[in-house]
Structure 1
Amino acid sequence: MGAWGTAIFSNDTASDIRTEYREFVQDRVPDDEATRRTIASFAHLVERDDGELWIPLAAAQSEVGRLDPEVRARAIAAIDRGADLELWAEAGRTELTRRTAALQRLREQLLGPQPAPKRLRRSWRHVEDDLTPGDVLAFTAPNGRTALFRVVGIHRSRYGDSPELDVLDWVGEHVPEPEILSGLRAKRAPASGNLPERPVVWQPNRFRKTDPVWHEAGFVRVARFAGWPSRAARTPGHSGLWRAFSLSVTRNLDDGTW
Structure 2
Amino acid sequence: MISLQHYKNHPQMGSWGTGISSNDIFEDIKDEFFELYNDGYEPNEIAQKLIDSNQEIVNDYEEANNFWFALALCQWECKLLEPRILMRVTQIIESGNDIKLWKELGADKSEVTKRKKILEKFLEKLNSEKKNPKRREKKIFRDSIFKKGHCLSVQLSNGLFGAAFVLESEEQTEYGLNLIALCDYISDKTPTVEFFEKANVLFSKDQDSPDTYKDYPLVSWYMAPHYKANEVDLKIIGSIEIKKSYNNERDYMRYVHWKYIPSQIEDQAELVAKHGEIKMKLKLSSLRIKTWL
1:141 match = none
1:21 match = 33
- Distance change >3 Å, CA 51–CA 79, structure 1 → 2: farther
Q: Indicate yes or no: 2:128 matched with 1:98.
A: no
Which of 53, 61, 69 is the aligned partner of 1:55? 69
Which of 77, 80, 84 is the aligned partner of 1:70? 84
| Aligned-pair CA distance for 1:21 | 1.8
TM-score by length of 1: 0.54
- Distance change >3 Å, CA 34–CA 190, structure 1 → 2: closer
Q: Indicate yes or no: 2:119 matched with 1:107.
A: no
1:7 match = 19
| Aligned-pair CA distance for 1:58 | 0.8
- Tell me the amino acid that sits aligned with residue 74 of structure 2: A
Distance (whole Å) between structure 2 residues aligned to residue 137 and residue 93 of structure 1: 48
Distance (whole Å) between structure 2 residues aligned to residue 204 and residue 11 of structure 1: 19
Match of 1:62, SS state, is helix
2:155 match = none
Max Rg structure? 1
- Distance change >3 Å, CA 121–CA 229, structure 1 → 2: same
- Distance change >3 Å, CA 99–CA 122, structure 1 → 2: farther
Unaligned runs of 5+ residues in structure 1 are 139-149, 172-184, 212-216, 241-258
Distance (whole Å) between structure 2 residues aligned to residue 162 and residue 105 of structure 1: 40
- Tell me the amino acid that sits aligned with residue 31 of structure 2: T
- Does the Cα contact within 8 Å between 2:79 and 2:129 map onto a contact in 1? no
Unaligned runs of 5+ residues in structure 2 are 1-12, 152-164, 182-192, 205-213, 230-235, 259-293
TM-score by length of 2: 0.49
Task: Count residues with an aligned counterpart.
Answer: 203
- Does the Cα contact within 8 Å between 2:43 and 2:75 map onto a contact in 1? no
Match of 1:24, SS state, is helix
Greater strand proportion = 1
- Does the Cα contact within 8 Å between 1:51 and 1:75 map onto a contact in 2? no
- Does the Cα contact within 8 Å between 1:154 and 1:164 map onto a contact in 2? no
* CA deviations over 1:205-224 (Å, ceiling 9, x no partner): 9669xx9xxxxx89899x9x
- Tell me the amino acid that sits aligned with residue 18 of structure 1: K
- Distance change >3 Å, CA 102–CA 155, structure 1 → 2: same
User: How well do the aligned residues superpose, as a CA RMSD in angstroms?
Assistant: 5.2
Where do 1:1-258 residues align within 5 Å? Answer: 2-44=14-56, 45=58, 52=65, 53-89=67-103, 91-121=107-137, 124-127=140-143, 153-155=168-170, 158-162=174-178, 187-189=198-200, 230-232=245-247, 233=251
Aligned-pair identity (%)? 25
* CA deviations over 1:182-222 (Å, ceiling 9, x no partner): xxx964526756768x9xx9x999669xx9xxxxx89899x
Match of 1:13, SS state, is helix
- Does the Cα contact within 8 Å between 2:21 and 2:70 map onto a contact in 1? yes
- Distance change >3 Å, CA 92–CA 41, structure 1 → 2: same
Distance (whole Å) between structure 1 residues aligned to residue 120 and residue 223 of structure 2: 41
